[in-house]
Amino acid sequence: MAIVKTQAAPRSARVKAARAMSNINSPAHRGDARLAWILILPALVGFLAFFAYPTFRGIYLSFTKFTVFTPPQWIGFDNFVELAGDDVFWNSLFVTLYYVAIVVVVGTFLSLVTAVVLHRLTASTVVRGMIILPFLISNVVAATVWSWILDAQLGIVNIAIEALGGESIMFLTSRGWVIPAVAIIGVWKSLGYTAIIIFAGLQTVPASIYEAGRIDGASEPQMFRRLTLPLMRPILAMVLVLNVIGAFQVFDLIQVTTKGGPANASLVLQSYIFGKAFGQFDFGYASAMALTLFVFLLIITFTQLRLLRASESDTN
């Protein structure tokens, strides 16, 4: 019979392991564990009640016919089959993608420019506070004010255009202008928040890198392209993901300014889901659309992180 001999652990290691086990099993440690559970219990209950349960309930309802007045009836994939042939759904998806494209491209570019200006030209906390101020305003208030500003007859923008000799533009009632106009409101609303995130990332870049670039004769545009952008890749990836998710969740801006009009030209997916659920009480079909949007966002987010290599940085 072969006897397998194992090398005994050093005495110091055994002593440390024994002390660690004794600390874990000590009454003081058990008391800390109970206190930790008590402290996280409210957050855990809130997560289960307001996030986990509604999520799984919504997934279940997406496979049922549920109109509030009758119990949910399991119908399998019928809602998704109907979804594939729903022209209004595909139109709302296209409108949403159009809005997201404008907000993400314009918003990210302006946020990056604003953050660089704040970082390289000014250190005033007052200016930073003014930049982030629109983000602190309610979306409903911002949409209401901007609907007055862009009004075709009384809006200050059209008054200025007419004073310069131009013609009044129907920003919120024209099919061609409505989504760009609402997208500009969304960009204005979130610009300060994303700019501050990028600004915080810029402060982590060592100043010695820019000093070395100046010694080598690099201009400001060259340093921005060859130094700032590569070093800021993880932050920019996070900003892009946040902008995409936030843009896909647009609802209140549309409801206040256009309510989906004119002729569904601004009917984004969130508004269509809301109308199906609380207008027609077809919660099963609305849940199917919400689940489709959730999966779509997951795919876009992971694709973005994959393409932008968000976990890597050229400083590594």
Mean pLDDT of 241-245: 88
Lowest mean pLDDT among 8-12, 172-176, 260-264: 8-12
Residue 79, pLDDT score? 94
48 and 99 in a common domain: no
CA 227/CA 241 separation, integer angstroms: 22
Domain containing residue 120: 78-208+215-308
Let me know if residue 244 belongs to a domain: yes
Residue 20, pLDDT score? 52
Q: Which residues contact 312 (CB under 8 A, 6 or more apart)?
A: 233, 234
98 and 242 in a common domain: yes
CA 9/CA 159 separation, integer angstroms: 84
Tokens found for residue 82: 């109907």
Let me know if residue 119 belongs to a domain: yes
Residue 136, pLDDT score? 83
State the pTM of this model: 0.81
101 and 43 in a common domain: no
- Please give the share of the chain, as a percent, with pLDDT higher than 90: 44
Mean pLDDT of 290-307: 86
Let me know if residue 314 belongs to a domain: no
For residue 287, how many C-alpha atoms fall within 13 Å in the half-sphere facing its CB?
23
Lowest mean pLDDT among 12-16, 147-151, 232-236: 12-16
Total domains in the fold of the chain: 2
152 and 43 in a common domain: no
Let me know if residue 3 belongs to a domain: no
Average pLDDT over the chain, rounded to an integer: 84
39 and 124 in a common domain: no
The string of pLDDT tens digits covering residues 98-141 is: 999 999 999 999 998 888 888 777 666 777 778 888 888 888 99
Let me know if residue 72 belongs to a domain: no
CATH number where 153 lies: 1.10.3720.10
Phi, psi for residue 232 in degrees, rounded to 5 = -95, 10
Q: Per-residue pLDDT for 159 more than 80?
A: yes
Q: Per-residue pLDDT for 222 more than 90?
A: no
